[in-house]
A and B are shown apart, each in its own frame.
Chain A
Amino acid sequence: MIAIIDYGSGNLASVEKALHGVVTSDPYKIDMADKIVFPGAGSFSAAVSGIKNIRDIIIEKIRNGTPYLGICLGLEILFSESEEGPGTGLSFFNERLKRFKKGIHMGWNTVEFNDNIIFSGIKKGEYFYFVHRYYAPLGSYTCGKTFFNGYFTSFININNIYAVQFHPEKSGEPGLKLLRNFGELA
C-alpha cells in the first residue's frame, strides 16, 4: 500500500489517481505502508505543524528503508529549516531553504537529471510543472537541477529517498511516467 500523506493541504486527487494510493494522516496506516508519498503545496511552517502527529513515524519509516517520494513541499520538508518561516523540518539535510530573490518560479521548466530509475523512459529535456518561491540550493544531495535565475535542486535521490521540486501529477505524460516508476520500485 502506498500512503499519500494528508496534512490538510489539498491537491491530492491527481496524485491519488496516478498512484492508486491511500490518502491518509493516520499514523497506523502510514506505519503499514510499503511506500510513502508526501505531496504538497503551501508553506513550510504550515506543513511542519500539520505533520506534528506523524513526524516521528515518517522519519522512522524513511530510516527503515521505505521508499519515500517527496513532491514540492515534500522535498522541502526533508530539510531542516526554511527562510519561509519558523519550524524544523525532517532534517535529513541540514540546509536552509532559500527564497528566490525575484518572483516566483511558476510554469514549465526542464530538469537536468542524472540517470535514475524514476526517470526511466523519460526523455532528457522534458518539461515539468513547477510552482514555488523557496528552493533547495545545490548540494551533495542534488541529482537533478533546474535553472531559474540560477540553478537550484529539482531532484534528490539518496538511497530510498526520492524528492522532486516540480509537480509530476501536473506535468502531463512525463510526470505520470515518473509516478508510475516510483510505484513500480521494488
Chain B
Amino acid sequence: MLAKRIIAALDVRNGRVVKGVRFMDIKDAGDPVENAVIYQDQGADEIVFLDISATDEKRDIMIDLVKSVSRELNIPFTVGGGIRSVKTALNLLREGCDKVFLNTYAIENPWIIKEISRETGSANLVIAVDAMYNNGYYVYKNAGRINSGLKLNEWLPLAEYLGAGEILLTSIDSDGTMKGFDNRLISEASSMIDIPVIASGGAGKPEHFLDAFMAGASGALAASILHFKINTVNDIKRYLRSNGVNVRL
C-alpha cells in the first residue's frame, strides 16, 4: 500500500539554507546538501528546496545546487522558486532533480504546465499553490503577497487538466504558526482533483500530520518542526504508525 509521505522543506537563498520565522530574522543555516542528508537519514521521504534568492545568477546557482544534491541524496528531491521557462525546468530535471515546482509563473502562464508535462510527463511537475481563505479559498501569487483573483476550485482542476502531477498546497493563514495545517483547505482541495495533494504550512507537532492525512493529504511538509529540532522525521513517523497510518519506517 502506498505510504503517506513526510517531506522536509528547506529554504535556500544564494545557495545557502536560511531559516527564519515568517520571513523575519532570517539566519544562515548552512549547506543545503548537509541539511538534506540529515533529513534523509532521519527518514524523510522527499526533500523540497525552495529557492528564495533574487539575483541574476540564480539559475546557475540552482543548477549547481541540483548537481551537488543529486550526488548525495538517494531519495527524491524537488526544486522550485522563480522558474520562468520550459527550458529552465527541463535543465533542472536534466541535472538530476526529480521534480520541479512552479507557482506564480504558472498562474500567469498556465500553458507552461502543458508544455513542460508534454516533454517530461506530468509526474515530474509540481504546481505550488499558496491559498488564503476569504469567503472561499483564493490563490495568491508572488510569494503569497498578491491575490490572483483565481478561486482554488478554478485553479486546481485547470492545473491538473493541463498536466500537473502533484499540488504542493500551502495555507498562507497557517504558515509559520506551528498550530497545525489548514485541514479544511486540504480536504476541499483533495476532493477537487485526483493527483496528490501535499499539505504545507503550520506543522508544529506529530498530531498535526495525522490530522492532515485524515483530511486527505498524500504527503505533508515539515519545516520549522524539523529546523528548530522539536521533532525528527522519525519521531513523526513513529507517532503516525502507532496511529494506524502507513508510513515508511
Taking a contact as CB atoms under 8 Å apart, the answer to whether B71 and A13 are in contact is yes
Question: Of B11-19, B52-60, B94-102, which binds chain A?
Answer: B94-102
Task: Please indicate the chain B residues that have their CB under 8 angstroms from the CB of A167 in the complex.
Answer: 76
Q: Taking the complex as formed, is A49 at the interface, i.e. its CB lies under 8 A from any CB of chain B?
A: no
Task: Please indicate the chain A residues that have their CB under 8 angstroms from the CB of B218 in the complex.
Answer: 106-107
Taking a contact as CB atoms under 8 Å apart, the answer to whether A107 and B45 are in contact is yes
Q: How far is the CA of A104 from the CA of B166 in the complex (A)?
A: 8
Cβ contacts B26-59/A at 8 Å (1 or 0 each): 0000000000000010000100000000000000
A173 nearest CB neighbor, chain B only: B74
What is the interface residue range for chain A against chain B? 35 or more
- Tell whether A129 pairs with B120 under 8 Å between CB atoms, given A10-B94, A10-B95, A13-B70: no
B249 nearest CB neighbor, chain A only: A127
Task: Please indicate the chain A residues that have their CB under 8 angstroms from the CB of B74 in the complex.
Answer: 14, 18, 169-173, 175-176
Residues facing A in B104-161 (CB within 8 A) are 118-124
Q: Taking the complex as formed, is A54 at the interface, i.e. its CB lies under 8 A from any CB of chain B?
A: no
Q: Taking the complex as formed, is B173 at the interface, i.e. its CB lies under 8 A from any CB of chain A?
A: no
Cβ contacts B203-219/A at 8 Å (1 or 0 each): 00000000000000011
Taking a contact as CB atoms under 8 Å apart, the answer to whether B98 and A11 are in contact is yes
Q: How far is the CA of A103 from the CA of B165 in the complex (A)?
A: 8
A128 nearest CB neighbor, chain B only: B248
Taking a contact as CB atoms under 8 Å apart, the answer to whether B98 and A107 are in contact is no
B91 nearest CB neighbor, chain A only: A10
- Which of these, A18, A133, A147, contacts B123 with CB under 8 Å? A133
- Tell whether A46 pairs with B119 under 8 Å between CB atoms, given A11-B98, A13-B70, A104-B166: yes
Task: Please indicate the chain A residues that have their CB under 8 angstroms from the CB of B122 in the complex.
Answer: 104, 133
Q: Taking the complex as formed, is A66 at the interface, i.e. its CB lies under 8 A from any CB of chain B?
A: no
Most chain B CB neighbours (cut-off 10 Å) among A8, A106, A148: A106
Q: Taking the complex as formed, is A80 at the interface, i.e. its CB lies under 8 A from any CB of chain B?
A: no
- Which of these, A11, A18, A42, contacts B96 with CB under 8 Å? A11
- Tell whether A106 pairs with B1 under 8 Å between CB atoms, given A10-B93, A42-B119, A46-B119: no
Cβ contacts A102-126/B at 8 Å (1 or 0 each): 1111111110000000000000000
Q: How far is the CA of A170 from the CA of B182 in the complex (A)?
A: 30
Taking a contact as CB atoms under 8 Å apart, the answer to whether B123 and A106 are in contact is yes
What 8 A-B pairs are tightest by C-beta distance, nearest first?
A: A10-B94, A127-B248, A103-B194, A13-B96, A13-B70, A108-B3, A131-B123, A108-B248
Can you offer 11 A-B residue contacts whose CB atoms are under 8 A? A12-B96, A13-B95, A14-B73, A42-B119, A42-B124, A43-B120, A107-B3, A107-B45, A127-B248, A148-B2, A169-B74
Identify 18 new A-B residue pairs, CB closer than 8 A, beyond the known A10-B96, A105-B2, A131-B165.
A11-B96, A11-B98, A41-B123, A41-B124, A42-B124, A104-B122, A107-B2, A107-B3, A107-B196, A107-B218, A107-B219, A108-B248, A127-B248, A129-B75, A133-B165, A169-B74, A171-B74, A176-B74
